[in-house]
Chain A
Amino acid sequence: MEKIIILIVLVTGVIALAQLVRLYELTYKLKDRGEHDIPNRDNNLNAKLMIGFMLFLFSGFIYLVLRFGWTGRGEAASIQGVETDWLLNINFVIIIAVFFLTNFLLFFFSFKYVRKPGVKAKYYSHNNKLEMIWTIVPAVVLAVIIILGLKSWSELTADASKKAEKIELFAYQFAWVARYAGEDNTLGKFDYKLTTGNNELALMTGSTIDSSVQEMGKSIEAVEQKLKLINFDYLSSEYRSLISSSDYKSDVDELVTEISSSEFNLVGAEEQLKQLYGRYTGGGDHIKITLNEPNDETKSIIGDLEKDLSTKERLYRSLVQMKQNHNPSQDKYTLNDIIQKDTLYLCKGREYDFSFRAKDVIHSAYFPHFRAQMNVVPGMPTSFKFTPILTTQEMRASKNNDEFNYVIMCNKICGGAHYKMKMIVVVYPEAEYDDWMALKRKATFKDQYFPNEETEMIAAK
């Protein structure tokens, strides 16, 4: 196939080039002509080509449909998708009819009414009745389209029923994680500030808050430490040797604390150091103190560290506040949530109420086979629902492809590996799904991360 096309391209290219050269010469001849007009021969040839092109366009369309079919993604695999496809097909019938009809008229007129000697164009400037007709007819057709569309739209976006199973999809650069709501079918709370190494989903319980407060405290200390070190890095060498001499150990320690306290500010650094030094030597200034100017790199590191510190302090304060407001009776909802990576399992015929959460940038959860999609927006929860009606096995049979799987793809540009951000979806028949779920219930959030915190569970109950 490719070869043929490339061949066609080459041949046309050569022809074009030949034309080019020939016309280059013609240009010279034309130059002498004062008037500019299109010869009848050219006019008629192009008129015929208009019809030729129309045939190319229409047959290209038909070829593509025959070769690739309508639904490259197969039949719809959810109740909502079946509805969507039905509506889509109605719309397609309408627009394809319009496509053929109007394009036909266009190219046909361009062919038929090409200039002929002795035939004058018809002076026809307006006709209110005609214009009325082609305002009203599209309006009526569109009204039908709008009504059908809005009917589907309101069904698709209506809240999921109470008994729908809740799943949260968490998106980050560049993967998906699912969280099932567990036995109580209630998703536990979360707060992004609770993200830690072993709480990637930032779920909220009394103890995750505690460990976040701790971790944040530690990382604030770490930043402060770094700042302290870097401050010393650019003191003059005399000064550094002075303060590190053991004779003055205790005073120096005090000095160090002061220098690295949060009030210590770079701009007034030299002044402050002199003062401190003055106090330290009883007012004499027999040792000249100079600060090595921090070089650009040091400055930028300090800037970053300070910014980081203030961010962390803000986060720390709100974590402490979170702790104070926390209601431990909510923990049970969180603890029995089930975290599921790599593959999402669904049950045929069960309604799912998805909610979406992003960690970093906007992603979009696109389920092409279920005709479902929703953006995943940081800081703004979104949701939608659908009910799978074909198991993976059934879909494989329908597509005649043993290796087919459902999938979630990311469909909002989110960075370099956007194109790889997917999650396989498996739809089980009910029995299999229940078995899988029973197994999973033994590996809840609590089991994975707090296996020893019996008390918390009991207290919560």
Chain B
Amino acid sequence: MKKSKPFEEFVLPQGTNKGLKQPKLGEVLIDHDHDHEEENFVSKYIFSHDHKMIGKQFLMTAVFMGLVAMMLSILFRIQLAWPGEESSVLSLFLGDTWAPDGILKEDMYLGLVTLHGTIMVFFLLTGGLSGTFSNLLIPLQLGARDMASGFMNMLSYWFFFLSSLLMFASLFIQEGAVFGIQIGDPTTSLPGVWDGSGPAMAGWTIYPPLSALPQSVSGSGLGMTFWLFSMTIFIASSLIGSLNYIVTVLNLRTKGMTMTRMPLTIWAFFVTAILGTLSFPVLLSAALLLLMDRMAGTSFYLSDIIVGSDMLANHGGSPILYQHLFWFLGHPEVYIVLLPALGLSSEVIATNSRKPIFGYKAMIGSIMAIGFLSFIVWGHHMFITGMNPFLGSVFVFTTLLIAIPSAVKVFNYLTTLWKGSLVLTPAMMFAIGLVSTFITGGVTGIILADSALDIAIHDTYFVVAHFHIVMGMSAVFGMFAGVYHWFPKMFGRMMNTRLGYVHFWLTIIGAYGVFFPMHFVGLAGAPRRYYNYSVYQDFDQGALDMMMDLNVIVTTFAIFSAVAQIIFLFNFFYSIFRGPRAPQNPWRSTTLEWTTPVEHVHGNWPGDLPTVHRWPYDYSKPGSDVDFIMQTEPLAEGEEEH
């Protein structure tokens, strides 16, 4: 029996269901023409409550922020490969203030690194990845008309937008002014908090006291104030979004869509949202305490400090407290970034292998295990802060435990490919690339998790290599896979496949070329966040020569992969407007989103909501002559579910 849920049963936010009229029995409502009349530009494209539009808004903002962050990395990579050489690129982008005579200033190096890291992690891969695809896919794959609250969803995007704007603006801070507008109030008795130049410069982890004391580095003035305000708003956005995702997954599944019939994408988004709601508030409190230390003279993180010749009276605080709070978010954060990517690629891999994902239940189990364990491993970032060695041992143990569900996931992916009938779409290639980077970056994690070994390589380029491969590349590849695969769903058109191939090959070669050699830089003992390695001249010229060779290789590949993204951008924007029209189900996939019309309509399905009869992975099922069976297809007589 089909479930028919009349429209008014749906708690759609006001304004969204205006265009829908109650369907008469048997009537198919294709109503978007009607919509156009009712909606104006602002409510359709700007303050939209529609989850598909909001997903696209997240994607566009994130693409922009991602490009900014990538550009920043190119700028500081130029500095690393050719230190002290005049660079016209640097003076073009940074001007006389930050790159007089084409030579980067040391403070700004740290500013670039900090903003690069912050934007990549939070704005591209948290806001961008989970924001885009949770929004797009949760209602579509669950058979819901929209998110539980369209209004909150809109709010989530606009908070994200505002925080992106603030973070971006902070790049332009000059002596207490942004874009020439004076922010600093000279009558304030908070010296430094409202002045200073440049963006935050304390690393993306903004450890106090460096981030708390405007006297210690020029970016810890207004730049840090911007950072903190921006992140506060970002966290609000993320919390609102996550709550909405959780509620939607729990309450708005269509008939027959049991939890164990949900595609793995949804499972990943669901667990991600839970991680976000549990961990972001902790970062929020860390940030608020830091704001207090900066503005209200409290001593949460400060004790016994003299900056320059300034003796502070703060006593009794602990900088380490901040680190505990930060990493309580910080570690789950890497899974907030990673799980959606893994979820997307599970779906892409199953579809394009024309096979069920191997070990569906084990995959769900490992997502949940990873999610749970990610809360009790944060200490592995703090092995050498002088924490109690016993506590360190506990964190070694819990961290290495995470390797088990991660290994299970990898083996399950491999088995899914095994004896498949692979269709190498660009999305599929990126998903395969993701599995490769997840392996390559994951194995070095085993070394970093071993506290005894971490002593020798903590904070070196080995770490930079590790997290870029396992988190940066994997998540970005997951995101690309998602974009290529669901582009037809988002824009009703196809992207160009061959450009996709070129993009993939250049990107994977470039990205491995950037991050793989960094292991060797790190093993040579090179600390990260160094403006240049000239100190090596005083003690080991040989190591310096080797490092400079490697740095040139890395930077060249970085420029190479950055240039390769132009192909993607071209393909993306060109296809939005001129791509061939998408068929309804271009990848011959089983999930519900491909049962909706190509043209977007409010409420997603013009008629009744679909009813689900089977799991999402019935590809090449024996006894069936088609190679995929939609989830809406009732089980045949005597057919086993799976």
Looking at B45-53, B120-128, B267-275, B445-453, the stretch in contact with chain A turns out to be B445-453
Across the interface, name the chain B residue whose C-beta is closest to A22. B498
Evaluate contact between A415 and B210: CB separation under 8 angstroms. yes
How far is A192 from B307 in the complex, measured between Cα atoms in Å? 11
Evaluate contact between A73 and B306: CB separation under 8 angstroms. no
Evaluate contact between B425 and A38: CB separation under 8 angstroms. yes
Q: Nearest Cβ distance between residue B369 and chain A, in whole angstroms? A: 10
Which chain B residues in 393-440 approach chain A with CB under 8 Å? 393, 396-397, 400-401, 403-404, 407-408, 410-415, 417-425, 429, 432, 435-436, 439-440
Evaluate contact between A46 and B517: CB separation under 8 angstroms. no
Across the interface, name the chain B residue whose C-beta is closest to A109. B417
Give chain B residues whose Cβ lies under 8 Å from the Cβ of A330: none
Evaluate contact between B455 and A126: CB separation under 8 angstroms. no
Evaluate contact between B424 and A43: CB separation under 8 angstroms. yes
Evaluate contact between B209 and A5: CB separation under 8 angstroms. no
Q: Does B85 contact A (CB under 8 A)?
A: no
Evaluate contact between B393 and A379: CB separation under 8 angstroms. no
Contact A364:B384 (CB < 8 A) given known A19-B502, A27-B496: yes
Which chain A residues in 417-460 approach chain B with CB under 8 Å? 417-420, 422, 424
Which chain A residues in 47-92 approach chain B with CB under 8 Å? 47, 49-50, 53, 56-57, 60-61, 64, 68, 70-73, 81, 83-84, 87-88, 91-92
Q: Does A99 contact B (CB under 8 A)?
A: yes
Evaluate contact between B516 and A68: CB separation under 8 angstroms. no
Evaluate contact between B423 and A43: CB separation under 8 angstroms. yes
How far is A5 from B557 in the complex, measured between Cα atoms in Å? 8
Looking at B154-162, B232-240, B472-480, B538-546, the stretch in contact with chain A turns out to be B538-546
Q: Nearest Cβ distance between residue A212 and chain B, in whole angstroms? A: 10
Give chain A residues whose Cβ lies under 8 Å from the Cβ of B456: 81, 84, 88, 368, 371-373
How far is A105 from B419 in the complex, measured between Cα atoms in Å? 12
Across the interface, name the chain B residue whose C-beta is closest to A159. B389
Which chain B residues in 347-374 approach chain A with CB under 8 Å? 353-362
Evaluate contact between A399 and B542: CB separation under 8 angstroms. yes
Across the interface, name the chain B residue whose C-beta is closest to A150. B393
Contact A2:B418 (CB < 8 A) given known A157-B392, A300-B187, A405-B539: no
Our pick among B210, B451, B488 for the contact of A361 (Cβ within 8 Å) is B210
Across the interface, name the chain A residue whose C-beta is closest to B454. A373
Evaluate contact between A149 and B403: CB separation under 8 angstroms. no
Across the interface, name the chain A residue whose C-beta is closest to B113. A413
Evaluate contact between A1 and B496: CB separation under 8 angstroms. no
Looking at A132-140, A250-258, A270-278, the stretch in contact with chain B turns out to be A132-140
Our pick among B418, B440, B505, B579 for the contact of A27 (Cβ within 8 Å) is B579
Q: Nearest Cβ distance between residue A58 and chain B, in whole angstroms? A: 11
How far is A306 from B133 in the complex, measured between Cα atoms in Å? 54
Across the interface, name the chain B residue whose C-beta is closest to A382. B386
Q: Using an 8 Å CB-CB cutoff, how does the interface string of A6-29 with B read, 1 for contact, 0 for none?
A: 100100110010011001101100
Q: Does B520 contact A (CB under 8 A)?
A: yes
Which chain A residues in 275-310 approach chain B with CB under 8 Å? 296-297, 299-300, 303-304, 306-307
How far is A417 from B303 in the complex, measured between Cα atoms in Å? 23
How far is A134 from B435 in the complex, measured between Cα atoms in Å? 16
Contact A57:B512 (CB < 8 A) given known A134-B407, A372-B455: yes
Contact A68:B546 (CB < 8 A) given known A124-B355, A131-B362: yes
Q: Nearest Cβ distance between residue A400 and chain B, in whole angstroms? A: 8
Evaluate contact between A401 and B540: CB separation under 8 angstroms. yes
Which chain B residues in 557-580 approach chain A with CB under 8 Å? 557, 559-560, 563-564, 567, 570, 574, 578-580
Q: Name the residue among A37, A311, A412 with the largest chain B CB count within 10 angstroms.
A: A412
Our pick among B318, B451, B529, B570 for the contact of A380 (Cβ within 8 Å) is B318
Q: Does A33 contact B (CB under 8 A)?
A: yes
Give chain A residues whose Cβ lies under 8 Å from the Cβ of B635: none
Evaluate contact between A409 and B620: CB separation under 8 angstroms. no
How far is A336 from B627 in the complex, measured between Cα atoms in Å? 85
Evaluate contact between A61 and B516: CB separation under 8 angstroms. yes
Our pick among A1, A37, A113, A382 for the contact of B419 (Cβ within 8 Å) is A113
Give chain A residues whose Cβ lies under 8 Å from the Cβ of B633: none
How far is A134 from B406 in the complex, measured between Cα atoms in Å? 11
Contact A26:B498 (CB < 8 A) given known A9-B556, A149-B452, A411-B527: yes
Contact A383:B305 (CB < 8 A) given known A87-B450, A300-B186, A371-B456: no
Count of CB-CB pairs between chains A and B under 8 Å: 454
Q: Nearest Cβ distance between residue B467 and chain A, in whole angstroms? A: 16
Q: Does B20 contact A (CB under 8 A)?
A: no
Evaluate contact between A123 and B305: CB separation under 8 angstroms. no
Q: Does B290 contact A (CB under 8 A)?
A: no
Q: Nearest Cβ distance between residue A220 and chain B, in whole angstroms? A: 12
Evaluate contact between A121 and B354: CB separation under 8 angstroms. yes
Across the interface, name the chain A residue whose C-beta is closest to B412. A131
Q: Does B31 contact A (CB under 8 A)?
A: no
Evaluate contact between B530 and A419: CB separation under 8 angstroms. yes
Contact A303:B450 (CB < 8 A) given known A9-B556, A374-B384, A375-B386: no
Q: Does A180 contact B (CB under 8 A)?
A: no
Evaluate contact between A27 and B527: CB separation under 8 angstroms. no
Across the interface, name the chain A residue whose C-beta is closest to B560. A9
Across the interface, name the chain B residue whose C-beta is closest to A172. B306
Evaluate contact between A70 and B523: CB separation under 8 angstroms. yes
Evaluate contact between B525 and A135: CB separation under 8 angstroms. no
Q: Does A153 contact B (CB under 8 A)?
A: yes
How far is A457 from B452 in the complex, measured between Cα atoms in Å? 43
Q: Does B277 contact A (CB under 8 A)?
A: no
Give chain B residues whose Cβ lies under 8 Å from the Cβ of A96: 443
Q: Does A34 contact B (CB under 8 A)?
A: yes
Give chain B residues whose Cβ lies under 8 Å from the Cβ of A229: none
Q: Does A362 contact B (CB under 8 A)?
A: yes
Q: Nearest Cβ distance between residue B311 and chain A, in whole angstroms? A: 6
Q: Does B313 contact A (CB under 8 A)?
A: yes
Evaluate contact between B423 and A405: CB separation under 8 angstroms. no
Evaluate contact between B303 and A379: CB separation under 8 angstroms. yes
Which chain A residues in 183-209 approach chain B with CB under 8 Å? 191-193, 195
Evaluate contact between B499 and A23: CB separation under 8 angstroms. yes
Evaluate contact between B411 and A195: CB separation under 8 angstroms. no
Evaluate contact between B436 and A125: CB separation under 8 angstroms. no
How far is A16 from B216 in the complex, measured between Cα atoms in Å? 46
Q: A110-B432, A374-B384 provided; 15 other pairs, C-beta below 8 A?
A: A9-B556, A23-B498, A31-B580, A46-B501, A71-B523, A72-B547, A83-B452, A95-B447, A99-B439, A120-B620, A125-B359, A192-B311, A359-B306, A401-B542, A407-B535
25 A-B pairs with C-beta separation under 8 A:
A26-B496, A27-B579, A56-B509, A72-B520, A72-B543, A91-B447, A102-B439, A106-B435, A106-B439, A113-B417, A114-B422, A115-B421, A122-B418, A122-B420, A125-B617, A125-B642, A138-B407, A361-B213, A361-B305, A361-B307, A362-B207, A366-B459, A378-B305, A411-B527, A418-B531
Q: Which residues of A contact B (CB under 8 A)?
A: 1-2, 5-6, 9, 12-13, 16, 19-20, 23-24, 26-27, 30-38, 42-43, 46-47, 49-50, 53, 56-57, 60-61, 64, 68, 70-73, 81, 83-84, 87-88, 91-92, 94-96, 98-99, 102-103, 105-107, 109-110, 113-116, 119-127, 130-131, 134-135, 138-139, 142, 145-146, 149-150, 152-154, 156-158, 172-173, 191-193, 195, 296-297, 299-300, 303-304, 306-307, 311, 314-315, 356, 359-362, 364, 366, 368-369, 371-375, 377-383, 399, 401, 403-407, 409-420, 422, 424
> Across chains A and B, which 10 residue pairs bring their CB atoms closest together, nearest first?
A72-B524, A379-B303, A368-B525, A382-B386, A303-B189, A157-B389, A152-B452, A95-B443, A405-B539, A122-B419
